[in-house]
């Protein structure tokens, strides 16, 4: 069969956009919840509970989809309102923005299978968070805040625009275009969770999904270009900035999903062949788990998103590898932690990788 590059690209654009329809709702919704939580941060800090409850609270917060909880907990840790065990438990149990990929729906994914995978890795993350969070608190690990980078707040406020044209697209055109397309795709994305759809607008939905992916990619790369310093924790002071950061997160997720789909599908279907690739996957599960953990370890949410996409489209992708990436990832919450206390940020990442490998290989041994 002759390979058609144009059709191949459009198919992956559409698949990423279809996932983006549900992802948009989820990210914006959870960001607003996180905004309310952060506004009540002082009240949360006063009522976080005794130290023995911190690993439990941390694990439960980390299990909330998205990166908002890790950012809040990193702030609490900076103010010495939560123990290291509570912090570590949060980062172990979080899936970052990768959770929205698994919770999304498209022709590329088995919705029921994705939800089952999401529930499985969430349970593994919660249990691992409880156990290892308590372990570090029992061992008496405490933070050292003497070497904090106290100038990070000034750095966070420095968002210097490099291009007025790109700035107009990011602040005006792209922002509202993504919101409108997400609203249009939302009903179909929700119905897809139950295997349904809106047949009367199927053709329009196809092209809107493609347009959403293209817009998100332009928006994401433009944002990266026009701001010298931009990260998800820099400014959540009001609803507008919260939604703006949410749209950037949507653009990032859709961009990474498209990149993951494109390369994974190209390698599997064109370069290697589905049957050959399937044999590779079955013969090297331990290597796949290790690679997934290392990819998940990369700062931010990109690594976890890539592994989640791989799980969705690669036959026989081991759930243990997904568990490894989920536990190893720290999401975007790692950035404020590194800014506040680089040593503890590196410790969390390093120990998280070791825990991820231990739990994932255990899961693989027992049949996951």
Which of the given ranges, 29-33, 102-106, 115-119, 156-160, has the highest pLDDT on average?
115-119
pLDDT at residue 162 in the model: 47
Distance CA 288, CA 283 (A): 10
CB count in 10 Å sphere of residue 158:
11
pLDDT at residue 256 in the model: 81
> Quick one: which of 280, 304, 290, 244 has its CA closest to 93?
304
Grouping H, G, I as helix, E, B as strand and the rest as coil, residue 97 is: coil
141: left (phi over 0), alpha (psi -120 to 50) or beta: beta
Specify burial of residue 296 (Cβ count, 10 A radius: 0-12, 13-18, 19+): buried
Distance CA 326, CA 63 (A): 11
Instruction: Reply yes or no on whether the pLDDT at 146 is more than 60.
Output: no
- pLDDT per position as a tens digit, 207-223: 999 999 999 998 888 88
CB-based contact 54:85 (threshold 8 Å): yes
227 vs 68: which has the higher pLDDT: 68
Distance CA 140, CA 123 (A): 26
Instruction: Reply yes or no on whether the pLDDT at 179 is more than 80.
Output: yes
In 3-state terms, the chain is what percent helix, strand and coil (to 5)? 75, 0, 20
Longest dimension (CA), the chain: 64
pLDDT at residue 356 in the model: 95
- pLDDT per position as a tens digit, 296-312: 888 777 778 888 888 88
CB-based contact 68:269 (threshold 8 Å): no
pLDDT at residue 171 in the model: 66
> Quick one: which of 71, 60, 69, 76 has its CA closest to 125?
60
- pLDDT per position as a tens digit, 85-135: 999 999 999 988 778 777 765 544 566 777 888 899 999 999 999 999 999
What is the gyration radius of the CA atoms in the chain, in angstroms? 20
pLDDT at residue 368 in the model: 83
């Amino acid at each position: 069969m002759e390979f058609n590059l144009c059709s191949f690209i459009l198919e992956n654009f559409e698949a990423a956009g279809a996932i983006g329809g549900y992802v948009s709702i989820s990210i914006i919704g959870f960001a607003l919840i996180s905004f309310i939580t952060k506004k009540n941060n002082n009240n949360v800090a006063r009522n976080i509970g005794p130290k023995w409850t911190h690993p439990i609270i941390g694990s439960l917060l980390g299990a909330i989809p998205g990166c908002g909880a890790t950012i809040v907990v990193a702030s609490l840790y900076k103010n010495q309102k939560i123990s290291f065990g509570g912090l570590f438990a949060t980062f172990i149990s979080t899936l970052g923005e990768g959770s929205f990929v698994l919770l999304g729906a498209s022709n590329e994914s088995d919705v029921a299978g994705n939800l089952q995978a999401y529930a499985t890795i969430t349970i593994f993350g919660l249990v691992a968070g409880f156990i290892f969070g308590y372990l570090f608190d029992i061992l008496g690990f405490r933070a050292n805040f003497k070497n904090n980078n106290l100038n990070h707040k000034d750095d966070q406020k420095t968002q210097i625009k490099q291009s007025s044209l790109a700035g107009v697209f990011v602040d005006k055109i792209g922002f509202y275009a993504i919101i409108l397309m997400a609203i249009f795709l939302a009903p179909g994305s929700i119905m897809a969770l139950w295997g349904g759809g809106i047949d009367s607008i199927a053709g329009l939905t196809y092209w809107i999904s493609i347009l959403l992916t293209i817009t998100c990619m332009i928006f994401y790369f433009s944002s990266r270009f026009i701001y010298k310093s931009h990260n998800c924790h820099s400014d959540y002071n009001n609803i507008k900035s919260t939604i703006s950061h949410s749209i950037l997160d949507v653009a990032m997720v859709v961009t990474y999903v498209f990149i993951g789909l494109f390369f994974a599908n190209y390698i599997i279907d064109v370069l290697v062949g589905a049957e050959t690739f399937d044999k590779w996957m079955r013969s090297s599960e331990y290597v796949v788990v290790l690679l997934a953990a290392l990819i998940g370890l990369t700062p931010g949410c990109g690594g976890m998103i890539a592994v989640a996409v791989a799980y969705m489209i690669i036959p026989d992708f081991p759930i243990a590898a997904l568990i490894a990436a989920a536990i190893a990832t720290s999401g975007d919450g790692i950035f404020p932690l590194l800014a506040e206390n680089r040593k503890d940020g590196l410790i969390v990442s390093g120990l998280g990788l070791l825990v991820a490998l231990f739990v994932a290989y255990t899961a693989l041994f027992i049949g996951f």
